[in-house]
Amino acid sequence: MENGEQCCSTQLIDGDGGFNAAGIENFIKEVKLGECGLSYAVVSIMGPQSSGKSTLLNHLFGTNFREMDAFKGRSQTTKGIWLAKCAGIEPCTLVMDLEGTDGRERGEDDTAFEKQSALFALAVSDVVLINMWCHDIGREQAANKPLLKTVFQVMMRLFSPRKTTLMFVIRDKTRTPLENLEPVLREDVQKIWDSVPKPEAHKETPISEFFNVEVVALSSYEEKEELFKEQVASLRQRFHHSIAPGGLAGDRRGVVPASGFSFSAHQIWKVIKENKDLDLPAHKVMVATVRCDEIAHECFSSFVANEEWNKLQEAVQSGAVAGFGKKLSSLVGLCLSGYETDATYFDEGVRSTKHKQLHEKLLQLVQPSSQSMLGHIRSGILDKFREAFGKALNGGEGFSSAASSLMQIYMAQFDEESADAVIEQAEWDTSKTREKLLRDIEAHIASVRAAKLSEVTKSYEAKLNEAMSGPIEALLDEANNESWPAIKKLFQQETESAISGLSNDLSGLDVDKETMDNMLVSLQDCARGIVEAKAKEEAGRVLLRMKDRFATIFSQDSDSMPRVWTGKEDVRSITRTARSASLKLLSVMAAIRLNVELDNIENILSIALLDMNTPSKRRIKAADPLASSTWEKVPPSSTLITPIQCKSLWRQFKAETEYNVTQAMSAQEANRRSNTWFPPPWAIVALIVLGFNEFMTLLRNPLYVGLIFVGYLLAKALWAQLDISNEFRNGALPGLISLSIKFVPTVMNLMRKLAEEGQIPETNRPERPVHESKNSHNSSGLSSATSLLEARPANESDYPSTAKED
């Protein structure tokens, strides 16, 4: 054991029935049992001789009981009753190792001590372990049935009721599952209890008032030692805090203090020794019991080894077997008839009891195979139904009619095939398997229906999304007073159409009214979700759409032509109109109006963002109507843009569109300057007064007039070539930069053209009248200048590209 606590043990009752009073007193002092008060528990073990009781206790509780030496042969090891303190278990737990039953040392008739020791164990112990071999389950003696029957009866007569835990420990567990072994044991215990004559006060008292029955199974210690130790270690945990509520110790009523344990045990043993009702059964009955048990065991072993049964058992594991019920009924009938033949001359009561036990044991053995056969039938029917149901739906048959008709057909087929799987000797009910098949078929129908419903629902949701997303986006892009009424109308029309179509499709799928109503509501919610999602998506782009609308209205006239800022346009009025349109878009996008009939969002935004720009309006309205997170008459769930967000968006919108207004005003100013080249009247008067002397000089010298005229023509040619008026329309600074780049190439171009004019031969020139030829040389420069003046302005592609502002 892992715990290093030292174990202490003593012989409580010797093999002759003598109570070791001195030994128990010394034991109590050594383990300090008197200090425990009521915090202690007593565990005992009973069972056949050499069944490994002492070995189990030593491994389970860390005791040091003497164990049988297998190499010296099988013989009695424990004589009388031994007592020890468990090591490493809290609270203090005492364990009693009882002498084995059915020992050859005491003989066939000397079993009084066995009954007395078993009764003593039940009277003193909180937990009684009944050690038994797995292959002996169902046997009368090995299962201790007569012993328990006598003990139950005498215990009720001798002692006040006290609930004791009976733990059946099944040793050398075979492949038979514990779930199949446990019901047999519990049924046997209940039958023994029911057959025991009871005092009047306990006629109707159930066994649960006296006993808690537990069943555990352990592997073979010799063949699977490690697994055995692991299972024992797991079982050991259940004995920790065994007296706690819900623990193994069960009812603690009538428990004597630990200091009085020795006296109490002595008195109980004395009463048991003096009892005269614990005599053995009649010899005839005992012989019949043993012999019938042997015959039944031989018949059962022969059945298990039967080659035909083994083949049938192996075949049914892999699939259904034709004629299974008849074959198995024949094998079981032969086994039972063989028992009746061999046990004919034994006591009728014992023979009948053993026959019944053999019958139950055989049924327990063959039942798993029969269940496997039913399982194969169920699986085959289910597969056939699935295939037929799929073909029926693919062939266009109605869902409800196909499901109903095919279910009836295949359930009837199951009833027919399952009747062949049941044996004659058993009254097994196949209703559970039938119900499971019915549940499986209904589950398959439900899964197909669910897939159809999902497919139909997704189809209508996709149709709604396709039918509503585009129109909603277009209507929100227009953003006028009719946008939301139109969206609401579209929502109602498309939703009604989808719900009508879905209702028609669901009517053929055998859907209950509640499910149909839920799906229709879900579809309507989906349509509403599409509207809300699209509105939220557009609301997220509201600033971009406001700027686009402002740019469209501000930069285009009523004919959708680009607006030219000539100076005659009212920029302030156009700006207000464009901003009002953008504000209208913002008011439309501020909330979802599927359920909201009237709201004052547009008025609030207009007052707060447009009309509040004037000082007079600002003084009238002291409170900020946009200093809120909700709109009046609009629920929060329908709000897309809160008032405070609208205010922030408007501030950003104005900041980003202010540049367009400034550019328009600059373009107007540049246009006005470019069109006002004539000097003012006062400047003309000043030129006349101050330039009189120069004017007279020109009159006296006509040559100056010619030179000035030629200079004027050259300047005019440069003006036309440089397109100065257009350059300055974009502003003074951009115009100067552009002219500085184009000036030198333009002058060079003029010089080149003059040179080309001077090099043209006289013969190529058109003939002139005689009176013109005299002045041809004097007018050549003038004609060249005139040709330059008449030339079209140079293409801008002849010069380097210049940066122009939009």
Encoded tokens for 264: 């109490």
Task: Tell me whether residue 198 is annotated as binding.
Answer: no
Cβ neighbours of residue 364 closer than 8 Å, sequence gap 6 or more? 180, 184
Instruction: Please classify residue 598 by burial: count the beta carbons closer than 10 Å to its beta carbon, then call 0-12 exposed, 13-18 middle and 19+ buried.
Output: exposed
CB of 278 within 8 A of CB of 154? yes
Task: Tell me whether residue 781 is annotated as binding.
Answer: no
Output phi, psi for 219, to 5 deg: -75, 175
Task: Tell me whether residue 220 is annotated as binding.
Answer: no
Task: Tell me whether residue 379 is annotated as binding.
Answer: no
Amino acid (one-letter) located at 340? E
Q: How far apart are CA 219 and CA 346, in angstroms?
A: 36
CB of 42 within 8 A of CB of 81? no
Q: How far apart are CA 600 and CA 609, in angstroms?
A: 14
Task: Tell me whether residue 418 is annotated as binding.
Answer: no
List Cα–Cα distances, 631 to 238, 481, 623, 635, in angstroms.
Answer: 67, 18, 15, 8
Terminal-residue alpha carbon distance, the chain: 95
CB of 674 within 8 A of CB of 729? yes
Q: How far apart are CA 75 and CA 345, in angstroms?
A: 33
In 3D space, the residue among 426, 323, 441 whose CA is nearest the CA of residue 378 turns out to be 441
CB of 238 within 8 A of CB of 60? no
**HEC-encoded secondary structure of 571-620:** HHHHHHHHHHHHHHHHHHHCECCCCCCCCCHHHHHHHHHHHHHCHHHHHH
Task: Tell me whether residue 357 is annotated as binding.
Answer: no
Task: Tell me whether residue 49 is annotated as binding.
Answer: yes
Encoded tokens for 331: 């094998």
Encoded tokens for 253: 């009523």
Cα angle value 70/73/74 (rounded, 5°): 85
Provide the pairing of β-strand 81-85 with 9-13: antiparallel
Compute the CA torsion angle 416, 417, 423, 428 (nearest 10 deg).
Answer: -70
Give the Cβ contact number of residue 366 at 10 Å.
Answer: 22
Cβ neighbours of residue 606 closer than 8 Å, sequence gap 6 or more? 580, 583, 587
Task: Tell me whether residue 237 is annotated as binding.
Answer: no
For helices 732-758 and 776-790, angle between their N-to-C axes, nearest 10 degrees: 140
CB of 596 within 8 A of CB of 633? yes
Beta-sheet strand order (sheet of 40-46): 9-13, 81-85, 92-98, 40-46, 127-133, 164-171, 211-217
Q: How far apart are CA 787 and CA 756, in angstroms?
A: 11
Q: Give the number of residues written for the chain.
A: 806
The annotated binding site for GTP is made up of 47-54
The annotated binding site is made up of 47-54
